[in-house]
Amino acid sequence: MAQKYFGTDGIRGQVGKGQITPEFCLRLSWAIGKVFANEGRRAHVLIGKDTRISGYMLESVLQSGFVSAGADVSLLGPIPTPAIAYLTRAVSADVGVVISASHNPYYDNGIKLFDGNGNKLGDALEQQIEAMIQREMVCEDSQSLGKASRISDAPGRYVEFCKNSLPRDFSLRGMKIVLDCAHGAAYQVGPRVFQELGAEVVAMAAQPDGFNINSQCGSTHPEMLQQRVIEEAADIGIAFDGDGDRLVMVDANGELLDGDHLLYIIARSRQAKQSMQGGVVGTVMSNLGLERALEALAVPFARAKVGDRHIMQALHQRGWTLGGEPSGHILTLDLCSTGDAIIAALQVLLAMQQADTPLKDLATGITKAPQVLINVTVDSPAGVCEHPLMIEAQTTYEQQMGARGRILIRPSGTEPLLRIMVEGEDKAEVDLVAQSLAEQAKAIQAA
């Protein structure tokens, strides 16, 4: 059944439009409260957020809707998305609510939901919530209203959880790390984790003002981090996104390592320790170089559709624990229930320590095939993707490239963008095909 409100990662959009309005979010939280109501017991809901200015408004509105439905609410304040997943499970709450638009600009926001096990909601529960939204919103009697409180030690609990994902003798003493917090949800807990493990931390983009989240910083804009690592003569650099569930890293020479590199490093380390549980799940966007590098390690590899929920489903189906995307979503299901940038970074640092090898040398086993990703802004990404002229152009170039490459054109699930990915053996050909397809998309948009 097609869903009206929920997309690939919850509900997301521009604040004040569509579903990201006070009116809709009030109905949404009331509906969630009703769906998660338990006979004879109040539903318990956690609400956390990133640092966008609109988070204050949405937090208040969601709290009101839950309380009106008879649910108790615990507020967490600004905290990474994976921390909310962990705390939902740790305090036996019924549902965890994340107010965040991840890597999007400050004027966007969204709502993501976790169940009591810290997993993102399945389609069935999202459909129940959508059906409940259509019903008349009736406030509970005063005697049945919920209550709201704040969990003041939530950041500290999450910091300890991250540290406990490592062996007891693990230490970062003697290591200098530049940490780009994207002015986002990890601006407090991120530096704490690495400092408490002994590292010298140079924090950057850690002064959120409500408007600067992801602005020329973080995992989507790592250029300043690359420069800072060299200036500071640091051992590594780490960049999170706005809600702290994905990362990229920078080696001591300022070279960027994306999610494919990091996934390979973790898999290689686990394979060497014989602790690899099955294989690795990537996505259709994962570079061919990752697939070949894992094959050389005799590690099975499978592809899922884009989105960490699809990776999660594939991992559960196979009984594997490690997966990720080039964008830096890394899932280590033996350690946490969802993608966690801090946990993933610590796993890479653990691999460095156990191999006694610098980051740049750990990534030498993977050679990325030339790949170009172009985002084209269009009013209807799905419509352009399915347009006959777009399909014809893609088919023509696929036939031209043959076994030398592959093309993926898909609508973004979170932004008004058509994503065009071209990968192949010849860089010049890849660039030419990608630009031609982007021009075709722009022509369709202009028509």
Total number of domains in the chain: 4
Q: What per-residue confidence (pLDDT) applies to 257?
A: 97
Host domain of residue 390: 371-446
Asked whether 252 and 245 are in contact (CB, 8 A), the reply is: no
- Specify the long-range contacts of residues 167-176, CB closer than 8 Å, at least 24 apart: 167/350, 170/197, 170/350, 170/353, 171/197, 171/198, 172/197, 172/198, 172/199, 172/349, 173/198, 173/199, 174/198, 175/199, 175/200, 175/235, 175/236, 175/349, 176/200, 176/202, 176/232, 176/233, 176/234, 176/235
Same-domain check for residues 185 and 279 = no
What's the rounded Cα separation, in Å, for the pair 51 and 100? 8
How far is CA 436 from its chain centroid? Answer: 30
Same-domain check for residues 279 and 405 = no
Same-domain check for residues 139 and 201 = no
Asked whether 8 and 15 are in contact (CB, 8 A), the reply is: no
Same-domain check for residues 94 and 126 = yes
235 within some domain? yes
167 within some domain? no
Same-domain check for residues 22 and 142 = yes
160 within some domain? no
What's the rounded Cα separation, in Å, for the pair 33 and 70? 7
For 392, half-sphere exposure in the C-beta direction (CA atoms, 13 angstrom radius) is: 5
Asked whether 332 and 267 are in contact (CB, 8 A), the reply is: no
Last residue of a domain, one of 254, 280, 312: 254
| DSSP three-state, residue 27 | helix
Same-domain check for residues 140 and 49 = yes
Averages of pLDDT over each 10 residues, the chain, 447 residues: 79 95 97 87 94 98 98 98 98 97 96 95 92 96 96 97 97 98 98 98 98 97 98 98 97 97 98 95 94 95 91 96 96 96 98 95 92 93 94 94 90 87 93 96 91
Q: What per-residue confidence (pLDDT) applies to 308?
A: 86
Active site residues: 102
Asked whether 286 and 310 are in contact (CB, 8 A), the reply is: no
Same-domain check for residues 46 and 102 = yes
Q: What per-residue confidence (pLDDT) applies to 405?
A: 87
2 within some domain? no
Last residue of a domain, one of 225, 254, 283: 254
Q: What per-residue confidence (pLDDT) applies to 9?
A: 81
How many angstroms separate the first and last alpha carbons of the chain? 32
Hey, how many other C-beta atoms are within 10 angstroms of the C-beta on 198? Answer: 12
Position of tokens 């949405």? 58
157 within some domain? no
51 is written with which tokens? 């640092």
| DSSP three-state, residue 156 | helix
Same-domain check for residues 66 and 138 = yes
Same-domain check for residues 396 and 304 = no
Asked whether 329 and 259 are in contact (CB, 8 A), the reply is: yes
Asked whether 100 and 242 are in contact (CB, 8 A), the reply is: yes
332 is written with which tokens? 């280590």
29-47: buried (b, 16+ CB within 10 Å) or exposed (e) per residue? Answer: bbbbbbbbeeeeebbbbbb
Q: What per-residue confidence (pLDDT) applies to 2?
A: 60
The dihedral over CA atoms of 127, 130, 134, 137, expressed in degrees to the nearest 10, equals 120
439 within some domain? yes
**Which of 254, 261, 253 has the alpha carbon at shortest distance from 364?**
261
- DSSP secondary structure of 35-64: HT-BTTB--EEEEEE-S-THHHHHHHHHHH
Same-domain check for residues 269 and 313 = yes
User: Residue 167 to residues 54, 65, 170, 209, 248: CA-CA distances in angstroms?
Assistant: 39, 42, 5, 36, 23
Count the helices and strands in the chain (H runs, E runs). Answer: 15, 18
